[in-house]
Chains A and B, each alone.
Chain A
Amino acid sequence: MDLPSWLLSPKLWDFLVDAVISMVILLTIVWAERKIAARVQMRVGPYHISPKLGGYLQLIADAIRFVMQEVIIPVDANAVLFVALPPLFVTLALLPSFLVPLSPYLAVLSRPALHYGLVMALALLFYLFIIVVGIGWAVNNRFAYIGAAREALMITAYEIPLLSAFAAMFLTYRTIDPIEIVSKQTYIVGAIYNPLAFIVYIIGVAMATSRFPFEIADYEGDVATGPYSDFSSIFLALTYAGGIYIALFSYSLLGALVFLGGWAPISPGPWPADVIGNFAAALWVLLKAFILMLFFVFLRAVMPVARLDHTLSFSWKWVLALALGATAISTVEYLLL
């Protein structure tokens, strides 16, 4: 049986797998976050909708409610940015996951461009939270202003350590090509090559995606969802309820490739002959990303919220020192390995 060639295009299948599974992961991770927090706090969590599934469909019910809600644009807000930035936020949050391969042959980008996929993904992710500042400006509300200012301060706090954690790993692997990076982690994963860089990555992503204990820009007790104040309906679903989690997914996918070995034990062959193997590799990567995301949302259950000045001093004193240490370890590995 001859299949048309476009049906076996790896770009198409990478796009489909990434788009569909990231949405499934998004649904599952929000449900898991609420269930884990409820368990630790001796509650039940989402239950009433689909009790037999443990309330799994609650998020779909919420999404339907968000979509059917009236779209309200405040009079004082900058209407163009207010409408344009939330879709841009989600797009920029999901785009980095398309720039990295899910298996050696499943990739949207092809070879010469794919070498720079990881760096491009990181650059997009660092642009992402400038959009959050823009959202806070567009809303024109004092809480949104405060949240945006906090987000801007947080960007300075996590960007340099996070970037240097990834840079340290690139130094260890002597390459920025994601496929070669994974092929170098066949026996030892990156988190064991350079544990300091992994710790910096964990802390940096927790800061970048407003996970606890660094949920400072949009902490409801302080600033009433921060930059996303006055957003309602589909806009709230695109930013606060969805976009942040999609950004977390993109960060976790990068972390799974760089620190957790990607598809390392599974080595699929060329694409059309080894379709199942490639899908298995993609699922293995996505499973690692999912486990990383589970850890990040688990922090909500156990961590308090840190104060902004504590976080900044913690970041500039300790995380930056850790990142420098990680770079030192990587330099030693670069010279020895």
Chain B
Amino acid sequence: MAGQKVGEAIRAVLEVIGIGLKYTIKPERLTVYYPYEVPDYMGRVRGWIGLWTERCTSCMICARICPTNAIKMYMEKNGRRYPGIDYGRCIMCHYCIDACPTYALYPTDIRDLAFYRHEDMMYTPDIMRKPPQVPKLVPKVVKVVHEYSKGKVVKVAAGELGEPKPLPPAPSVPVVES
């Protein structure tokens, strides 16, 4: 209002109403109907973090590097400490995986993590060994293509949601005896 010509203001109001009408009649939506269709991330996703306790040297680098202090070291029966992750705090930055000197922590593409209770979010080392069971709710997977030049989003069906990928094989580094 201030310092604006009256004509400019009126034209701006009319222009914005025109733009609104255009989008009302012909919307360009970016929405992926997430629970009903799952976007295909093509494997490029930071998901649930697995642990091979045989490789862990209990060096605590993962716990120290964790930016949200989600990793806690738990005492196990063999007298050693292994990391456990609180998924209520984990932001899936995977710094712990990057920092792990023995590749004991490994990434997966399990991303649909949901919990009924807060206690279920605490992953202790013994349950971190096996990946969580993700229920297969929605079979529809779409590939989302952003056409920035035209300002549009094209969704291409990318087939059914298959079985979860098998876990990566253990890398060939010397196993630390526990």
Tell me the A residues contacting B by CB distance below 8 Å.
Answer: 36, 39-40, 42-44, 47, 298, 301-303, 306, 310, 313-314, 318
Contacts and interface: CB of A to CB of B under 8 A. Distances in A.
B23 A39 contact: yes
Contacts of A40: 19-20, 23-24, 27
B62 to A, nearest CB: 39
A264 to B, nearest CB: 26
Contact of A302 (B1, B6, B16): B16
Interface string B1-29: 11000100000000011011101100111
Contacts of A306: 1
B30 A301 contact: no
B31 interface: yes
Nearest to A36: B24
Nearest to B153: A42
B176 to A, nearest CB: 50
Interface of B: 1-2, 6, 16-17, 19-21, 23-24, 27-31, 33
Nearest 9 CB-CB pairings of A with B: A302-B20, A39-B27, A40-B23, A302-B16, A44-B31, A42-B30, A310-B1, A301-B20, A40-B20
A298 B31 contact: no
B1 A298 contact: no
A42 B1 contact: no
A43 B29 contact: yes
B155 to A, nearest CB: 13
B29 A44 contact: yes
11 contacts: A36-B24, A40-B20, A42-B23, A42-B29, A43-B29, A298-B21, A298-B24, A301-B20, A301-B24, A302-B16, A318-B6
Contacts of A310: 1-2
Nearest to A311: B1
Contacts of A36: 20, 24
A42 B16 contact: no
Given A310-B1, A310-B2, A313-B1, A298 B29 contact: no
Nearest to A314: B1
Nearest to B15: A302
Nearest to B21: A298
Given A40-B23, A298-B20, 12 more contacts: A39-B24, A40-B27, A42-B23, A42-B27, A43-B30, A44-B29, A44-B33, A298-B17, A298-B21, A298-B24, A301-B20, A301-B23
Nearest to A317: B1
Given A39-B24, A310-B1, A313-B1, A302 B31 contact: no
Contacts of B1: 306, 310, 313-314
A313 B1 CA distance: 9
Contacts of B24: 36, 39-40, 298, 301
A318 B6 CA distance: 10
